[in-house]
Structure formats: C-alpha cells, structure tokens
Structure 1
C-alpha cells in the first residue's frame, strides 16, 4: 500500500474518512519517518488526521515506528514526564523542579522536549537548558546519558535522539497545526520507563489516551488535564486526571485544598529565564509558596504513580524533607555540572549510580 492509497482513506472529509487499522497506520508512519512520502503527501496526511482525529491503532502504530528510529537509554524502574512540546506561555513549568525532587528520592526520571513547535510556540524545556548555558550543540545523547548516570535524571532533546523528528520540523512549522506527532513525540519513552505522567489539554481524550497507554504496556500511567495541556497539576484549583493501574482506569480529581496546599498563583512573565529562576528558587527553598506547593503536590502524586508511596499524603511527607534539607538542590547542581561538562565520561559510573539506574 502506498501513501496515495492511504490518503484516499483518511482524506475523504470528516464524514467519509475512516480510521486506518494498525497495519495501514504502520505503513503510513514508515513512509513518513523514512522520508519516502513527499512533503505534499505528509502535509496532506497530517491535515486529514487532524480533521478526522487519530484512532488508538493509529497512535500506537506511529509511536512504535518512531521508537524504532530513536536512541534509548533504559532508566530502570523510572518515570517519564511527558509534557507538551509546544511549550508554555502562561504557567509555571513545575515538572522541571519536580524531576530533581523525585530523583533525590532515588527514582530515575526522564524529561524530554524540543525547541518550540506549533501550535503554541511556547517556552520548552530545552530553552531552560540554554539559560543554564547548555548550548544546542551540547545537548547530545552522550551528554544526557553521562548526566543520567551521575544523577538519575535523563534529559532528552527529541531531535537529537530521533532524527526523523528533526527532518519533519519544517513541514510541521509550515502547517502550524497540531498533528499526530504532537501526541507521538510525548510517548517516545526514551528511558524505557514503566511509569508515565502524560499531559492532555481536553478531557475528551482521556479514554482514548488510556487505551493507548494500555497497548504500550505501561505499568501505571497518570493522564493529567494540567496547566496548558501539561502533566503539571494545578495548585490553585482541582485537576482532573485518569489513573491507569492494574489494567483498570479510574477518574480522579486531585484537589490541592484537601492537602492544605491550595495557593494563589502570582502573575509572572514566563520567559525561559523566569522559568529557570523560579525552578531554582523552589529547589533552594526561596520561591513563593504557590510554586513550592505546586512542585510538592506534583512530586507527591508522581511518587504515588511510580508505586513508591501508598497515598498522596505519604508522598507529601516524603517530598517535603527533600526540599527542606537541600538534597533536591544538591542533586540539581550535580546534574547541571554534568550537563555543562565538556569531557564526557564513558564509564558505567559508581556502584551508587548503577543501583539507582
């Protein structure tokens, strides 16, 4: 089957189009990821899928094909933070500081992203690293693996780890639309993690996303209708989530007021510099209460998702000392030093590092 035949199926308009089965979607993904389809065909496919909306089989096929063309570095027993690659414009990126909070408790964490993409064109994780002084040329998978071995935090710039995503950027920028890749890239699982927190914008996709998680064999997954479609729970109001665990899915509304954490969020102009500054203040214990509370709540919930605690309350009791005693800040400083290192060590690390990963 070629791309023209596939386009005839998905491109018949909202009423006439049909979902591709897994095998058909796998062919489409291969043609796109290998550059065998023409730019016009790729653009037509992405647009048709945007109108029709992707099915579970189509998403699963695209994820599996994309993973095939990617580097991976297993983070044993780790958790994946899967946020929007089009970034943030109006909310604090709590997930960044939360990564070091969890890693300081011994849980390997994978964060990933790219420079800004449509439709939002917001602040993304790699822009925070640039504020730290880590240039685009320094964000190689060798550097990321070196830092992960040292600290348990794997930071992936997707277009360094998956070349097809880099090649597809011009088409995505020209279209300016959300495409099937906006979901696919968040499920690349560069760290081979059994646990994931995954951000969505609309609660209408909860059920479909949960089915995808099940097909991708995650042990536990939390689907979060978070700030700006991210995986971050709100701190000034309840957050709707779907928990996938033990083969079952349950709707859970997480209310910060139940834990004494509800806070009024101060207004900020969220540039990359501000995102990094406030994240570092949280880890140092000097940030406004709302941002510290947001990181604590997200840390506690993610400890629960990763099976390290039996409740969110227990997670909060676990997380608070890690901020107060400086362990999370110390680990962040160690990770930052490793990411800035020009001499990448190729050894397997210390016994402590091996036991963590």
Structure 2
C-alpha cells in the first residue's frame, strides 16, 4: 500500500498528485510507525518536498503525530510553535516572552528538540542546557510540576512523541526540510486554544491559516517572523495572518506604530549569548531593541488570547511586569523546579 502512495506523489512535478486525507493518514501511519523502509520514507519526504505538501496531507501527519504523542490538558493557554531547526542570526524573543505572558496570566506552551536540518540553528533545547537543565532527562511529572507552578510548559518533543526521535537519523541524512518540519510544531501537547505559528514564506499564509482552522484553534496568529519563527520583528513591520472562526485576514504589525521600532545591534549568537540576553531582558536591563521586541511579542499575544483589549494595553501590562520583577521571579521559580531533575553542570 505504501508503495502505491509513494508512486502517486513521486511521479514528478507534472504527474504527481496530492493524496486525499485518508491516503495521507495511511502514509503518515506507515512512516511514523516505521512500517515503511528508510529508503521509502526518504523517497516520500523528497517527493512531497518537490510536489509541495497540501493542507490535507499536513493535517494527516499532524493527526498521526498527535496519536503517537503524550498529550494532556495541563493548562489552557497559548502554544508557541516556532521552527525546530532553530535560529542562527536572530534573538529567541519567544523564550523570555513566555515568562512575561505567564506572569500576566496567560499560560504558555513551548516545545522543541535538538537542532535539525535545514538550518541547524540554536534551539530552545540549547537555551535550557545553558540554564543548567537537561531537557531530555526530565520526567513528565517534573515538567508538569514546573508548568503548574508557573504557567510555562516546556515539552521535549522527541521524548513526548517518540516517532520523531526514531525518524531523526533519516531526516539528518536527507538534510532538508520535510513535511514533519510543519507537522511536529502542531502536535499541541497541552490542547491549547490559542496558537502563534511561524512561517518563512508569505506564500504559505493561506494554507497555514486553513490548517489552523481545520485543527480547531480558537484563534491563531500566523507570523512571517524572524528566521521563519513566530517572533515579530522590532526593526521593521511583520506580515501576519489572523485566524478566527474560519476567517483569516492579513494584518501588518508595525512596531513604529507603538513607538517601539529599534535598530538591532550586531550580535554573534551562541546559546550562552541567547540565554544571557533573555535573562537581561527579564531583569529589565537588556538592550532596548530586545526589550522592545519581547514587549511587542508579548503584547500582541496577550491581545490574541483576549487577555487585553489592545496591543497598547498589553504593552502597558507587560512593561509593569518587567519593571516590578514579576517576570524575572517567575522565570527563576521555573528554572529552579526544572533543575531539580535532569540537572547539568550549571554555567558560571
């Protein structure tokens, strides 16, 4: 059966066709359960990459990933779905923003894994390791305890969805983007009603908006952000798609409209620098560009989830939480709970 499906997507640019949702379910099941051979799986990924995955095909892969993942309604909040292949040239604003949002009463789910192709950038896993936490060594109970105490849930995706770990070697050998690069970000480990999802090209806005609707998120913000992430730019406007109740519309978020547009300093990013800048922002003493970027992203996400009426109100709320130390205190609490298991040698 898998061979027949492979032939349908692998007939070349002109002859290939999109699979139906049911056919894509069969293909995804064969791949995630490793019923297909590594050669067949690799061929399918390449064929889909050439053809370009349809919404129904991605949705099917999301459904099968979810079936094989540990998912629990730990908290009702916002899922931040950024690229698992990481960052090379930009600040991980979503990391400190998560603690700012949680301190404002909006629980946040983050998730990731060790770096992947095609970017091979710095990941959230790397930031946690710099903070003295071994994300792969944490039990579900420990992770859940940290989330229940702080509102920030970090999911090591390969541990909570084991087929992703089983497929890593094939993805590394291919060294290219596959359908999993999208599907793995939408597993939604905590049944979040709100989603912010990063894309690299604006040509996929409509497809991803349709996918977010099909997956029944209450509201979603599709962001053409920094390095394909869910992070809004601070030095220029960002193109986004706002999705709600089957409707979607283009929305430009311009930092200059809020007096926040700021030139970015030249930074050579390493995991240590990412963590240092994140912690400086949470302490209210970071570079203005990165403080403003975190404030803008947090304010827009608070508005998305209905916690504030406007971005301006969100900015006021978030600035106060940075100034009074609430976000930093919450981060330190989360860090201490996460360090009590899966501990690495702490940085100096």
Asked if these proteins are the same fold (TM beyond 0.5), I'd say yes
2: distance between equivalents of 1:41 and 1:143? 38
Separation in 1, partners of 2:202, 2:265: 26
Between 305-314 and 90-99, report the one with greater CA deviation. Answer: 305-314
SS at match of 2:167: helix
Deviation at 1:137, TM superposition (A): 4.3
Structure 1 unmatched runs, 5+: 345-357
Distance 1:137 1:24, change over 3 A: closer
Classify 1:4/1:203 alpha carbon distance in 2 versus 1 (closer, same or farther; 3 Å): same
- Which whole-Å CA distance do the structure 2 matches of 1:221 and 1:319 have between them? 21
Note the residue ranges of structure 2 that are not aligned, 5 or more in a row. Answer: 344-348
Structure-1-length-normalised TM-score: 0.94
Aligned to 2:276: 277
Q: How does 1:1-357 map to 2 (within 5 A)?
A: 2-342=1-341
Determine if contact 1:75/1:193 at 8 Å carries over to the other structure. Answer: no
Contact 2:133-2:342 within 8 A present in 1 as well: no
Aligned residues: 343
Structure 1 residues 343 and 178: CA distance shift in structure 2, 3 A: closer
Measured in 1, the distance between the counterparts of 2:269 and 2:83 equals 16
In 2, the alpha carbon distance for the partners of 1:333 and 1:73 equals 25
State the partner residue of 1:348: none
TM-score calculated relative to the size of structure 2: 0.97
Following superposition, the deviation at residue 315 of structure 1 comes to: 1.0
Residues 156-198 of structure 1, C-alpha deviations (whole Å, 9 max, x = no match): 1100100000000000000001000000011010111000000
CA–CA distance in structure 2, aligned partners of residues 139 and 227 of structure 1: 29
Q: Please list every run of at least 4 consecutive aligned residues from structure 1 whose deviation after the TM superposition is greater than 6 angstroms.
A: none
Does the Cα contact within 8 Å between 1:143 and 1:339 map onto a contact in 2? yes
Provide, for residues 37-65 of structure 1, a one-character-per-residue CA deviation record: whole Å limited to 9, x for no partner.
10000000000000001001101100011
